[in-house]
Each structure stands twice: as structure tokens, then as C-alpha cells.
Chain A
Amino acid sequence: GEDVEQSLFLSVREGDSSVINCTYTDSSSTYLYWYKQEPGAGLQLLTYIFSNMDMKQDQRLTVLLNKKDKHLSLRIADTQTGDSAIYFCAESMGSARQLTFGSGTQLTVLP
């Protein structure tokens, strides 16, 4: 099974909040990341959180971390059509500290 799991699809109305959820398995992960990928493009780092934090806010983005449940969420306030993309959660693990990604959540913003 995957080390990082995400729901595959989310649709919201423009102006509403979006919440994208992620669960991970490696309790030794020290940093967790959110990336955004638009069609045909590479990954854009949105934000990251250190494992000793519960919450991090950056403009319209809020990351919540529940370390006990190994659950991470990304909330996007006032979602816009330009936010439509695939969002990946990732944990940093292993000696190489390579990123292990979920399968991504396709966010569709409806007008």
C-alpha cells in the first residue's frame, strides 16, 4: 500500500474554501509538504510544515497537522479558478530525505 494517501477528487464553488486531506504512515517524518501541479507542468512548492507544529498559515493557505493520527490537511480560503490543479502531499523520509508523494487530489473550482 501507499505510504501517503489522498482522496482523488474535490470540487468546490469559486469563493468557497477547499480542504484537501492527506494521511501518512512514517511517524519519523520531520517535514511534510504540499505541492501544486498544473497540467503539463512540474511541481510548485506551496508550503511545508515541521512536525512539531500543529498549524501553519500563509496568506490563503492553512496547513493543519495531527501528528497522533498522521493526518495533514491543506485549506485554501476563497478558492479561485486559478487554484484548479492537482495537489500533492509529500513526506520527507529515508537517508536521502527523498520525498514520498501521495497520488494527488484533483481540485476543480466551479464558477
Chain B
Amino acid sequence: DTGVSQNPRHKITKRGQNVTFRCDPISEHNRLYWYRQTLGQGPEFLTYFQNEAQLEKSRLLSDRFSAERPKGSFSTLEIQRTEQGDSAMYLCASSLVTLAGGKNIQYFGAGTRLSVL
């Protein structure tokens, strides 16, 4: 399977616990994005990586959130001290970007659904 893979698919945790999600992008893709989707809404941008460099973070990404892409391949998203408001679907997408202003076709994984009790 050469698509974007996310693990786990579901995570249930208690308020105050830390959680970590993993995303494996399509292998030749240089960009990796994290989005959050709440019920009835479209995905919202959180952050992105160009290779191993994290280049932009949304204001939605509070200090409790941290993302890494250590070798420019897979990425992890950690949420510390989870709150009930963190309950959402966390989506990862990857793309191959070669030209400034060129198309940026993002392919999405199936997501990790987080429930904070």
C-alpha cells in the first residue's frame, strides 16, 4: 500500500493524559501536513513540514501540541495534557511540491479519531 498511513485509527484517553499519533506519508513526498477536523466541519490546517523542517504552525496549534518529522519521512503529533476540546479527527496529508505556485496535490490518510473523556 503506497497511500498515507495513520496510526492508531482510534484513541480514547482521559483528560490530562498525553497522546501521540503517527503518520507515514507517501514515500517520495516532501511535504507533510497535519489537519484537525471536528464534527460537521471541514479540516483545519495545523502545521506542515518540508522534508524535516517544520515551516509553519497555525494559531490553532497551542503549546500543548508538538509535531516532529525527524528524518523527513514519518511524522508524529503529540498532544500533552489533553482536554475535552481536543476531541477530533486528526488528519495527515502528504504532497510532492516542486515549483513555487505550482499545484500542491495533497493525499490524505484515514485519520486518527481522538476521544478525550
Contact = CB atoms under 8 A, between A and B. Distances in A.
Interface in B1-22: 4, 6
Given A96-B55, A98-B33, A45 B107 contact: yes
Contacts of A31: 103-104
Contacts of A104: 40-42
Interface residues of B, number: 27
Interface residues of A, number: 27
A68 B78 CA distance: 42
Contacts of B44: 101
B45 A43 contact: no
B45 A96 contact: yes
A70 interface: no
B97 A90 contact: no
B108 A100 contact: no
Contacts of A41: 110-111
B43 A101 contact: yes
Secondary structure class of chain A's binding surface, majority of residues: strand
A111 interface: no
A30, A33, A43 — most chain B CB neighbours (10 Å): A43
Interface in A16-44: 30-31, 33, 35, 40-44
A74 to B, nearest CB: 15
Given A96-B55, A98-B33, A99-B106, A43 B43 contact: yes
A102 B106 CA distance: 16
A95 B101 CA distance: 9
Interface in B38-65: 40-45, 48, 55-56
A103 interface: yes
A70 B75 CA distance: 35
B101 A30 contact: yes
Interface of A: 4, 30-31, 33, 35, 40-45, 48, 50, 88, 90, 92, 94-104
